């Protein structure tokens, strides 16, 4: 396929899927229930970290988590006591267990008692000259586990390029918080990271479609694959390459339902 034809296919698919109707069946619907910056950040971050498995299940578990925090996550995070944590001990999602819940609560409480927004936990580790958000992901991971009693088992729930991970969930969360357009899906609430620095959230749908379209040549699926695909997409829009997440993911989901698109 010619590059011009491929760009046309991707742009048309972005227009098709980057619409308000996309929200209700996607995990991004959880932070969209809130209007306060910190509520959006907390539920966006936690929902993204729980985002493995079917989208319906992810939405249900994130809804359960929100209810356990009285549907006021920021107020709960900042003001809760040790005793208030007890009714979250039964919250589980796959390998995310009570130990992980307790540590997330501890980190977020300590963080928000000192900082207004979660943005600085990422943006402090990146500058305008950085090509992509890799340094921000590494810095955030180190900060998140900087508490002396951070459980070793919880580290698997926060990815880092230092382990060659695709960092899919973090990249998805950052897309939600950084990208801004007039479609109303992504929030665009953070301003110290540029959309051009974002990296593609590489899930199985995106990986499969990108390989079929020859946007990926690397055999493995790892951190370098994310960099390769993101660089390929920058050729079509250097200022907003991750908007094509909508196209690749949407095409992949449709193919699952109807077979390969012609």
Complete DSSP assignment for 198-237 = ------HHHHHHHHHTTS---SS-SHHHHHHHHHHHHTT-
pLDDT of residue 262: 45
Share of the chain above pLDDT 70, in %: 97
Statement: residue 154 has pLDDT above 60: yes
Q: Is 30 left (phi over 0), alpha (psi -120 to 50) or beta?
A: alpha
pLDDT of residue 260: 53
How many other CB atoms are there within 10 angstroms of residue 108's CB atom? 22
Whole-structure pTM value: 0.95
Give residue-wise pLDDT tens across range 43-71.
Answer: 999 999 999 889 999 999 999 999 999 99
Pairwise pLDDT comparison (254 vs 228), residue with the higher score: 228
* 149-177 average pLDDT score: 97
Note the residue count of the chain: 262
Statement: residue 117 has pLDDT above 70: yes
For residues 185 and 22, the answer to whether their CB atoms sit within 8 Å is yes
User: Which residues are paired to 60 by β-bridges?
Assistant: none
Cα dihedral sign for 81, 124, 52, 159?
Answer: negative
3-state secondary structure of 92: coil
pLDDT of residue 255: 64
Give residue-wise pLDDT tens across range 203-217.
Answer: 999 999 999 999 999
pLDDT of residue 72: 97
* 113-141 average pLDDT score: 97
Share of the chain above pLDDT 90, in %: 92
Query: Can you tell me the distance from the alpha carbon of 167 to that of 200, in angstroms, rounded to the nearest whole number?
Result: 9
Residues 6+ positions from 218 with CB-CB distance below 8 Å: 224, 225, 228
* 179-199 average pLDDT score: 97
pLDDT of residue 258: 54
pLDDT of residue 73: 98
pLDDT of residue 245: 97
Confidence of residue 102 (pLDDT cuts 50, 70, 90): very high
Query: Can you tell me the distance from the alpha carbon of 27 to that of 34, in angstroms, rounded to the nearest whole number?
Result: 13
Residues 6+ positions from 34 with CB-CB distance below 8 Å: 40, 43, 73
Total structural domains within the chain? 1
Confidence of residue 257 (pLDDT cuts 50, 70, 90): low
pLDDT of residue 253: 82
pLDDT of residue 261: 46
Residue-range definition of the domain harbouring residue 192:
3-258
Statement: residue 228 has pLDDT above 70: yes
Query: Can you tell me the distance from the alpha carbon of 108 to that of 61, in angstroms, rounded to the nearest whole number?
Result: 19
* 242-255 average pLDDT score: 90
């Amino acid at each position: 396929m010619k590059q011009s034809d491929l760009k046309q296919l991707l742009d048309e698919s972005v227009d098709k899927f980057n619409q308000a109707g996309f929200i209700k069946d996607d995990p991004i619907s959880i932070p969209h229930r809130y209007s306060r910056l910190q509520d959006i950040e907390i539920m966006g971050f936690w929902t993204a970290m729980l985002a493995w498995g079917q989208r319906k299940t992810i939405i249900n578990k994130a809804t359960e988590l929100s209810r356990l925090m009285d549907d006021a996550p920021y107020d709960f995070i900042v003001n809760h006591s040790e005793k208030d944590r007890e009714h979250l001990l039964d919250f589980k999602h796959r390998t995310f267990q009570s130990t992980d819940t307790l540590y997330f609560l501890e980190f977020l409480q300590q963080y928000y008692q000192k900082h207004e927004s979660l943005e600085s936990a990422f943006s402090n580790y990146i500058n305008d000259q950085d090509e992509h958000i890799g340094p921000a992901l590494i810095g955030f991971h180190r900060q998140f586990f900087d508490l002396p009693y951070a459980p070793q088992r919880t580290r698997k729930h926060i990815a880092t390029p230092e382990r060659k991970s695709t960092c899919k969930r973090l990249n998805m969360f950052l897309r939600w918080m950084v990208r801004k357009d007039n479609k109303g899906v992504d929030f665009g609430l953070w301003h110290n990271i540029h959309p051009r620095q974002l990296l593609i959230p590489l899930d199985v749908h995106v990986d499969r479609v990108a390989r079929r379209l020859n946007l990926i040549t690397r055999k493995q699926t790892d951190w370098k694959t994310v960099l390769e695909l993101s660089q390929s997409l920058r050729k079509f829009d250097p200022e907003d390459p991750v908007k094509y997440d909508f196209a690749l993911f949407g095409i992949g989901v449709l193919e699952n339902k109807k077979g390969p698109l012609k």
